[in-house]
Structure 1
Amino acid sequence: MKKFLKILGFSVAGVVLLLIAAISVVVWILTPAKLTPLVEDAARKSLNADVNIGRVELTFWSTFPRLVVDVDSLEIISHSLSTAADTLPAWRDSLVSVQAFHGALILPKLIAGTIAVDRVEIIRPEINLVTAADGSTNSDIVKPSDSDSGSSSGIPSFSLGRFAISGDMPVRYLSVPDSTYIAATLSAASVHGEKNPVYTLNVKGDTRAEIGKISISDIRLGLGGNISWDPERPTAIKLDRMRAALADVTVDVTTSADFSHSTVINSLNINLLPVAIHSLVAIVPEGIIPESTEIGGEALVSADVSLTEPYTVGTDLIPSLTAALTVEEGTARFEEMYLKKLSLKAKAVIDGRDPDMSQLDITELFAVGEGVGFRLSAKVSRPLSDPRVRGTFKGGIVARWLSKRLLNALPCKISGNLKAECDFAFRRSYLTPTEFHRVKFNGQASLADFHLDMRDASASLFIDKASLNLGSDSRISVGAHTVDSLLTASLRIDSVAFFTPGLDVQGRDWNVGLGMLNVASTADTTVINPIGGRITAGMLSLDNEADSARIRLRDATVSGSLTRFRGSATKPRLSAKITSRRAIYSQNMLRAFISDIDAAVTVYPAPPRLTRRTRQRMDSIAALYPSLPPDSIYARAMAMSRRRHTADIDSLDTANSFNLDGSTVAMLKKWGTKGHVKASRIGVFTPLFPIRNVISDLDLKFSSDSLTISNTRYTVGRSRLTVDGSIANISRSLTSRRGSPIVLDFDIKGDTLDINRIATAMFAGVAYRKTAEREGLSSVAEDSEAEMQRVLDKAAENDSAAPIVIPMNIDAALKLNISNVLYSDLTLNHCTGNARLSGGALNLRNVRARTDMGSIDLNALYSAPDETDLRFAFGMLLKDFHIDRFLKLMPSIDSVMPLLNGVSGIINADIAATSELEPDMNINIPTLSAAVKISGDSLVLLDSETFRKVSKWLLFKDKKRNMIDHMEVEMIVDSQRVELFPFIFDMDRYRLGVMGTNDLALNFNYHVAVLKSPIPFKFGINISGNPDKMKIRLGGAKLNEKKLASTTMISDTTRINLVRQIESAFIRGVRNSSRPGLHLNASAPATMQTLGSDASDTISRADSLLFIREGLIESPLPPDSLKHE
């Protein structure tokens, strides 16, 4: 064995010596002068390029055991782009140039089969790489080989001791197709392999580049770390803590990869060391970020990326990895926005196998800037199929601390503080109308001391404090009942003021709340989704100069809800409720207020109103078409009904119509209502009825077709009334084609009813309306009562009275019981009666009252269906009435019975009259017809002074008793004439009978018969003419007790007949009956018909002498005196 080893040792030594000898011979023979041309020729033959070498030298003995190669001045000129366009740079052909090259190969390791390079040093190399437009490159210089070398024998064992580049190494790269230009200069580069197969790499330099429109300025770069590469596994490489530096940005990379079959990255970790934002932005190529955009800051950014599974390049779509991004708290700047604090902690998990399983977790994003700050945390999952987002947010804004540039860019000046916070959870699929109910969102926002002023002074807004709360899964408990899954929103404002030219709004303690079910059916627009809301206002003030409107509210609440009617998913039920401690409204001359209102209304689908005929039609259609659904049967029946009535519509009396448009009528038929209104006090003042109207203790209940008022007090001027009653047939009246009227039934009681003021207000209101329509009246100052009265007086001057029209579409029955009624200067006590309105007429029935001057019993009819058809008829019975008050009560009597002037005392009167009225509400005298009966006892006919003279002249026995014991007078007014029926009365020692006639121009013809007197015979006095020119003649008496008994007593009968006619006309309808008129039972007595017919009616000469002797008439003057006169 020893011998074998000895022989083997000598053999190896021999081979080594032989190899050394061979190398020595080659080195000795291949001197630089011989070796240099050989290398150049060999290179030119295998390359499509010119290779210029200054000197190539081999050294062996002086560097033993290393074989050293030194090359001076190496240059490779490429010919691959020699035919390219001249647009390429001049350096396109200069591929590589090296000032010097030094390399050493360790021979002992080479003999052992390992290529061991001890040292490689390149001095000042320069590389230029160019890609032409057609894709050819200047580096494509290797000529194709003619021989096939067959299969490769593999990579021999290799080791590198040290690799270094001395001096600057310029590298240029130009790619014409993608407009890329990169220029880098490596100032230092080295590789140390003392610990091979682990090699340490260090590179330093700077670079600049242009990629398209993106430009990179000169940036320092560096590269260093350990590279593990084993020739036995040449396709595997590992980088350990490989640090790459670009300017101030440093990245550590640790990775391992295998290139045997395909590129597989087994592990990878990239760690960005903390770097300031401004340093990170500095390496971003120019063009990616606009030049005008300024980004910077001192906050430190770091990141860490790690593979979680091996990644095969070209096979796997995306790698599986985790990435974490951290921004340590510091400053940041984006253009004019400056953040004093910015921090971020975020982590992403990427699943390469199932990218939809990737996740993003923003643990915290915190920022505080100039007037802005927020904190956000969120998690995102399922990013591809249906992104899920869950997180919280909290932030705020202080307006006065915002950047001046931002504030100056706004069209308004703002100040105030805004804070908000919320938590949320949703998916992208939830952001649709059908799935929105699944979004979870709960949050609140608050605003304090907010001011907004438009720079052009067009508007300003101030909010003291405001808060907004939103919730998508709220829960409300009322007693033992709990409702969850509610979408709610509430807004609270402590105080607010808004102003714009012409409009001023102020408020305090505003609250708005809204809630609805947040379930799947919410998105279904074909069904009713319950919803409710509530608005409260401690105070609201609104002033609008455009229409002079003014609104004031105190402690007001409005609430409402939309629910399903009787459980039907398609039929809505709307409820609303309003309460307010006080509300005031004014506009122009309208004033209204209400205190302690409590109102509620419910609107619901109204059931169809089916007449008997319609039901019969439906039965017939159902029998004819048994397969039709009920809705279709009803539709067909209604269509038949409409066709049947179409021809009749034009002939209907439309005076009862409210002139509602078709859509309004359809709405009233479709919807039903019910509710109530209560209020402690309501006041209204309007120029259309210019008198103070106050309603107290209002208790009103209503439905679609009726309205009920209970124990409600009404004060109008000095009138104080209590009202109970109802209004019915509302719906049918508003929607009927045939003009069905609204039916009113009220019981009115009261302490005082001032007819004077009410009538004055009604006339003034109508006059105002006409004047306003004709001339237009401007609005008055808000609280100027004097100015308001001036406008009303102006209207009254233009139209002292205007017709009061009775609506044709109202059928009312009023029962009256008033303690005191003020009419003219009379006070009527215990006034009772009934009033009815129908067909454009007002009927007073059995109106009775007592006064300190007597009692009244009245029946009347006022017909005023329009302004051109005004009529009046009445029957009145007065008992124990003062005649002077009677003349004031009936002022027209004075004009037709002048003999009543100056009469005083207590009378009974029975009056029946009809007349047309003029547009100013005065009696149309030519149309007046009347029957009057007046009787009285203890009447005073003359004033004291006149009686003293008359009593002395007529030789009264009792010259102090100025009184008539009894008198009874009847008369009729017809055809513009007054017929005074004969009557007799006693006065002292005289018995007188009177009869006569006069027209309405007071052209009279009366006869006074002296039936008893101191004169021993009867005589008569004939009075004719007019008050300005009166003619008195003496004649025979045309009256006596026997003839008086034959006169007809018609007043009672006429009044009774007229009352019956009034009732009949009212029932049948005023327009359908003739005008109520008086039908006298008998004409004037024959005695009256002879008045003035006998011109010779005079006293005899003997009677004249007796009158002269008694001093009753003066003696005639002598003829001479007459001539003298």
Structure 2
Amino acid sequence: MKKPLKITLITLGSLLGLVIIVVAIASWLVLTPARLTSIVRNQAPNFITCDFDIEQAELTIVKTFPEVGLKINDVLLINPMEDAPSDTLAYIDECVVTVDIKKFLNENLVLIDECYLDGGCVNLFIDEHGMTNLDIFPPSEPDTVEDTSEFTYGIDLANLKLNDVNLNYTDLSQNMIADINGFDLSAKAKMKGDALTGNVVASLNNIIYKQTSENSAMNVNLDALKFKGDVNMIGEKIKADVEASSSFLNYEGDGQYAELSNLNFKYNGDINDLDVVKGNLELGLDDMSFVMDNETYVNKADVKLITPLDATLSTMNVKLGASQLAFNNIFIDMIGEVAMPNDDILVDLDIKTNTLIVEELIELIPASMREELLDGIDVRGELYLAANVEGTYNENSMPAVNAEIKYNKGMISMPEMLPYPVTNFSTNIKADVDLNNKTDIYVNHLNANMSNSSLSLSGTIKDVMDKMYCNIKLNAVADLNELQSFIPEDIVAEGKIKLDATASVNNHQITNMDLMNAKVNGNMQWDNMNIVYYDTINVTADRLDVSLTLPNPVSEDLMNGLAAVEIKGTNLDARVADMIVAGLKDYNVNAQVSNILDDNVPMSVYADYSFSRIDASMDDMNFFANKPYGSVAMFMKENSNDATYIATYSGDSLSFKMGEEMSFDTENIEFNVSANYDDDQEDLLLQWNPHAGIKLNKAVFTMTDIPTPVYIPSIDFQYDSTGIEIQNSRVLLGDSDFELKGRFMDVDEFIRKEALLKGKLDFTSNYTDVNYIMEMFSGMGDTTVVAEEVVELDTVQKEDNPFIVPLGIDVTLNTKIDKAIVGEMNLHDIGGGLTVKDGILVLNEMGFTSDAATMELTAMYKSPRKNHLYVGFALHLIEIDIAEMIDLIPELDTLVPMLSSFAGRAEFHIAAETYLKSNYDPKMSTLRGATAIHGKDLVILDNETYRKLGRILRFKDKEHNKIDKLDVEITAFRNEVDVYPTLITVDKYQAVVGGRHNLNMTFDYRLGMSNPWLFRKLGIVISGDMDDMKFKLKRKSILDLGNPSGSEEDVHLIQETLRLKNLIYESIK
């Protein structure tokens, strides 16, 4: 038998024995109250050791028979102790116990018909040493023999009542005081064997509990506590239906205060083996408040709990049926199981809420925290939560949580941070939280609006606490006009941006910037774009579209690319202050970039572009391009700053203007450029080492230094480090047109100033104005000559502008020109070689014809200084009119004065060299040359003189003034001109003429007659000048005329020509 039950039965049996003894004594003595009171007083010391007093004791056998009762009035127990609040241990106004003797004797039933206690108080006290005033019972002798007998009587407690009982408990060892006032009890119970049934109704007016320590104090007040219940017990199986309530409960201590106005508790169920509790539990707390450190955490909240309970106390296992916990308007439905075997907590619990009003939830947050966290913030909406919690909680483990969160009709106002409230906020999020393994989050949707802006998000985040695999889809609309507060104050951004993006990334990729293995796709549309930076830079566009892909899809142009970006739009305009204005129309740029985040991979960039139009201007410069398209690329080299750059361009019309100084226009242009940047080089071109191919069609180039536009119908050339290959070029320059084909070599060496720029070109032209071209290219190349001539500027006439041969180049032109103008001459059918080599101009066997003659010229021209020019040439003219020859070479009239006296056509050879002045006048002191003239049927211009001579010398033809034949060879050296013996035939006369004259027109000539025979020994010496001519007759034999020219080669001319050609060859080799 259980010990509590055994004690109860012994107590009841002792009470019954006491009643029987009293009855027996009463039967033996006179049954008077006085006598009975005296007996009780005498027997009481056998049971208690403290002082006592009993006012009266009497039997109720007469009026209650066969029920026998004992009534005791005014019982007082006194046990004084030091520091005790009272000497009185207990006081009872009236106590009545009635027993049915008949039932006891006949039916083995202890029937306590009535057990009544009316009024009384109990003062329990424990001192600082743990001694108690309840220690009033004498020591009992230990049982030597264990009582194994069974209690065979039944017990029936018909009516147990306690009325207005007060209890005071003081424990100085714990600094504890408790007062219970107005305790009432009404109970019924029956017991037979292991079976027990009962009913209890109890109440008390007030409970006061106080406890203090060195650092704290605690007060508890409980008012109007009521309890009722029915119990049915068989063995260790109990069925209970109990209720408890209180009208007021408060707690105060250590800066904390709690209270509630009503407490209600109900339980209906089973308790088995005092271990398993299974039933329905209800708990209600009304107007609950909690204050700590003057901060209200709960303010008049109503809490209710309804749960079907199945609990095993030994294993701390609690199973909840469909339960509900309510906190004001918050309802939490629960079902599941919680267990605490050993030190672990096992949980398998489903939880869900009703629709929660966020404003009401915020009101539950303590005011100070609410002001700190939500100062100036207004949050509204409807919230729903559902979760399943399953797993083990201990030091090494956490249960897994599968939760769902729904938020609807949300609004967030943050005026200090957001210019407009966030409205229509809604989301549905599911989270699988497993801190022992991994946590996954599923965002079914997240939507929000802010005025004209909006956000929509969905996706998953798996393994949140570790790998963090993210698959996210984002759609957003941003009205920048309303979001200026988020933009740096130096930037003004306007327009509306629409963003659509998807991303598949993880924590490793984000932390280590491993974007090559991430997947990001995004599209941005920016309408009515307007950006102003520092009030200086302004960019506008009706619409800008940008798309981004990470990593770059497989591309033939750029392998292992990090990103692909496409930018397109209808128009884009930019302005930098009042300096630069630019605009794009219908632009499309597709760019790719390598993995720039990997230091071990050289950076590469590739882009394709196309535009319908480009306009740009800066100051007085303007640029325009129509329908350009092409590609650009950059490839960095490993472990250096060197890089390869590539660009291609194709387009229709293109225009560039620089004020009135320069302009360039073309109807079509194509070029491709590549460059290998070498950081070790200093010269710009050598640093970049460009390779280029350019094609132009119908281009026009103007420049203030060029009097007329340069028209380029077409040009096609290639440039690289080995040279420039001109595959085709047609140019209209003034009245000239020409086509160039060929190649320039040693370009790099020329740039490094290690060699001349070499070139071999074919020059073809229908018409060439040589004067104009020489004026254009005069002085090109090395400009040091200009500095050398500064001191001579005062001595040179301003209108003199001689051709200065370019320096630093070695270019040969194979010419084929239909027509050309050189000086005053109109030439045609020009062909031959033209070489310009480092300040030297050479014409090599240049053949051409004119109205005057057919010519061939080999010449060399040098311009070391502007007033010190050099020319050396060998000129062969066939059938040239003598007058035109003198016009061509005016100096001939000085060198050969008699030429101006003849008319007709002759063959003319000249080889000469001299230095020239800036106006091309020869410096006669430097003249050296030779010439040969061969003519027939020449006309003497002095016709009257000829007629007179004809009559005197009896010419056959006295009317026609002709010289039948003229062969003359002349050399010049400085100021002296030598005319070698020359045979002249006139009519039937022949004479040999030779001699010398000076440039001051003084002369010394000899003439010897050869025919007719009669005069063959006659000679004449002519000297003096043109104003004072002297004639002397001498014998021909003494004139030393030798053999005349005409029958032999022009020896002196040939020698001079060979010398000049050798000089030219040495100059240009």
Q: Aligned partners of 1:677 and 1:274: how far apart in 2?
A: 73
Query: Share of identical aligned residues, percent?
Result: 14
Decide which of 721, 724, 727 is 1:710's aligned counterpart: 727
Q: Aligned partners of 2:1037 and 2:163: how far apart in 1?
A: 181
Aligned: 1:495 with 2:571: yes
Decide which of 452, 455, 458 is 2:536's aligned counterpart: 458
Q: Aligned partners of 1:660 and 1:173: how far apart in 2?
A: 82
1:1088 aligns with none
- What is the CA distance between 1:397 and its match in structure 2? 1.7
- What is the CA distance between 1:266 and its match in structure 2? 3.4
Please give the secondary structure, in 1, of the residue aligned with 2:631: strand
CA displacement, residues 253-295 of structure 1 (integer Å, 9 cap, x when unaligned) = 6665445644635343444443344444444443577578533
Q: Aligned partners of 1:122 and 1:862: how far apart in 2?
A: 137
Q: Label 1:1067 to 1:920 Cα distance change in 2 as closer, same or farther (>3 A).
A: same
Letter in 1 for 2:668: D
Please give the secondary structure, in 2, of the residue aligned with 1:1036: strand
CA displacement, residues 552-596 of structure 1 (integer Å, 9 cap, x when unaligned) = 22222222568999xxxxx99986533222333344634334443
Please give the secondary structure, in 2, of the residue aligned with 1:927: strand
- Number of equivalent positions: 898
1:801 aligns with 801
Q: Aligned partners of 2:89 and 2:300: how far apart in 1?
A: 41
Aligned: 1:859 with 2:858: yes
Q: Aligned partners of 1:1045 and 1:948: how far apart in 2?
A: 30
Shifted more, 681-690 versus 835-844: the winner is 681-690
Q: Label 1:605 to 1:823 Cα distance change in 2 as closer, same or farther (>3 A).
A: closer
Q: Aligned partners of 1:769 and 1:541: how far apart in 2?
A: 39
Q: Aligned partners of 1:772 and 1:967: how far apart in 2?
A: 50
2:462 aligns with 381
What is the 5 A alignment of 1:182-581? 182-193=256-267, 198-209=281-292, 219-226=299-306, 233=313, 235=316, 241-245=323-327, 251=332, 256-258=337-339, 261-262=342-343, 264=345, 266-285=347-366, 286-287=368-369, 290=372, 294-307=376-389, 309-312=390-393, 314-335=394-415, 336-354=419-437, 356=438, 358-400=439-481, 402-403=482-483, 405-406=485-486, 410-431=489-510, 435-454=514-533, 457-472=535-550, 488-501=564-577, 502-515=579-592, 532-545=606-619, 548-559=620-631, 576-581=647-652
* Unaligned residue ranges in structure 1 (runs of 5+): 1-7, 52-62, 81-92, 142-153, 175-181, 566-570, 607-658, 776-795, 1025-1029, 1073-1125
Aligned: 1:598 with 2:670: yes
Q: Aligned partners of 1:559 and 1:1008: how far apart in 2?
A: 80
- What is the CA distance between 1:859 and its match in structure 2? 0.2
Decide which of 1002, 1005, 1022 is 2:1002's aligned counterpart: 1005
Please give the secondary structure, in 1, of the residue aligned with 2:1058: helix
Shifted more, 823-832 versus 696-705: the winner is 696-705
- What is the CA distance between 1:346 and its match in structure 2? 0.2
Q: Aligned partners of 1:10 and 1:1007: how far apart in 2?
A: 184
Q: Label 1:464 to 1:1058 Cα distance change in 2 as closer, same or farther (>3 A).
A: farther
Q: Aligned partners of 1:1007 and 1:429: how far apart in 2?
A: 109
Q: Aligned partners of 1:155 and 1:45: how far apart in 2?
A: 40
1:751 aligns with 766
Q: Label 1:682 to 1:374 Cα distance change in 2 as closer, same or farther (>3 A).
A: same
Structure with greater Cα Rg: 2
Q: Label 1:14 to 1:878 Cα distance change in 2 as closer, same or farther (>3 A).
A: same
CA displacement, residues 912-959 of structure 1 (integer Å, 9 cap, x when unaligned) = 22234567877555433233445656778879xxx8899999999999
Q: Label 1:541 to 1:978 Cα distance change in 2 as closer, same or farther (>3 A).
A: farther
Q: Aligned partners of 2:735 and 2:883: how far apart in 1?
A: 25
Aligned: 1:722 with 2:739: yes
Shifted more, 495-504 versus 875-884: the winner is 875-884
CA contact (8 A) 1:875 1:912 kept: yes
2:162 aligns with 67
CA displacement, residues 766-802 of structure 1 (integer Å, 9 cap, x when unaligned) = 8999999999xxxxxxxxxxxxxxxxxxxx9978536
Q: Aligned partners of 1:245 and 1:889: how far apart in 2?
A: 121
Please give the secondary structure, in 1, of the residue aligned with 2:773: helix
CA displacement, residues 629-664 of structure 1 (integer Å, 9 cap, x when unaligned) = xxxxxxxxxxxxxxxxxxxxxxxxxxxxxx974997
**Which structure shows the higher strand fraction?**
2
CA contact (8 A) 2:409 2:425 kept: yes
CA contact (8 A) 2:927 2:972 kept: yes
Please give the secondary structure, in 2, of the residue aligned with 1:437: helix
Q: Aligned partners of 2:245 and 2:984: how far apart in 1?
A: 161
- What is the CA distance between 1:1006 and its match in structure 2? 3.7
Letter in 2 for 1:804: I
Letter in 1 for 2:583: Q
- What is the CA distance between 1:543 and its match in structure 2? 1.7
TM-align CA RMSD: 5.8
CA displacement, residues 230-259 of structure 1 (integer Å, 9 cap, x when unaligned) = 89838555676453537x766556665445
Q: Aligned partners of 1:173 and 1:903: how far apart in 2?
A: 143
- What is the CA distance between 1:711 and its match in structure 2? 4.5
Letter in 2 for 1:1036: K
Please give the secondary structure, in 2, of the residue aligned with 1:457: coil
CA contact (8 A) 1:156 1:231 kept: no
Q: Label 1:540 to 1:798 Cα distance change in 2 as closer, same or farther (>3 A).
A: farther
CA contact (8 A) 2:655 2:665 kept: yes
CA contact (8 A) 2:240 2:267 kept: no
What is the 5 A alignment of 1:652-691? 661=682, 676-686=693-703
Q: Aligned partners of 2:531 and 2:636: how far apart in 1?
A: 43
Q: Aligned partners of 2:291 and 2:789: how far apart in 1?
A: 88
**Which structure shows the higher helix fraction?**
1
2:813 aligns with 814
Q: Aligned partners of 1:371 and 1:688: how far apart in 2?
A: 59
* Unaligned residue ranges in structure 2 (runs of 5+): 1-8, 21-66, 79-85, 92-119, 134-157, 221-235, 270-278, 791-795, 1010-1014
CA displacement, residues 195-226 of structure 1 (integer Å, 9 cap, x when unaligned) = 77623222323445569xxx667845331113
Q: TM-score normalized by structure 2?
A: 0.69
1:650 aligns with none
Q: Aligned partners of 2:201 and 2:1008: how far apart in 1?
A: 177
Please give the secondary structure, in 2, of the residue aligned with 1:850: strand
CA displacement, residues 61-119 of structure 1 (integer Å, 9 cap, x when unaligned) = xx9644356669x9999999xxxxxxxxxxxx9x9998x85554454359888998745
CA contact (8 A) 1:159 1:197 kept: no
Q: TM-score normalized by structure 1?
A: 0.66
Decide which of 1020, 1031, 1036 is 2:1032's aligned counterpart: 1036
CA contact (8 A) 1:801 1:921 kept: no
Shifted more, 862-871 versus 845-854: the winner is 862-871
1:827 aligns with 826
CA contact (8 A) 1:601 1:676 kept: yes
Q: Aligned partners of 1:863 and 1:24: how far apart in 2?
A: 159
Letter in 2 for 1:746: L
Q: Label 1:236 to 1:220 Cα distance change in 2 as closer, same or farther (>3 A).
A: same
- What is the CA distance between 1:164 and its match in structure 2? 1.2
Q: Label 1:209 to 1:1065 Cα distance change in 2 as closer, same or farther (>3 A).
A: farther
- What is the CA distance between 1:982 and its match in structure 2? 7.5
CA displacement, residues 779-828 of structure 1 (integer Å, 9 cap, x when unaligned) = xxxxxxxxxxxxxxxxx997853663444453x43321111111122211
Q: Aligned partners of 2:920 and 2:613: how far apart in 1?
A: 46
2:35 aligns with none
Q: Aligned partners of 2:1056 and 2:258: how far apart in 1?
A: 125
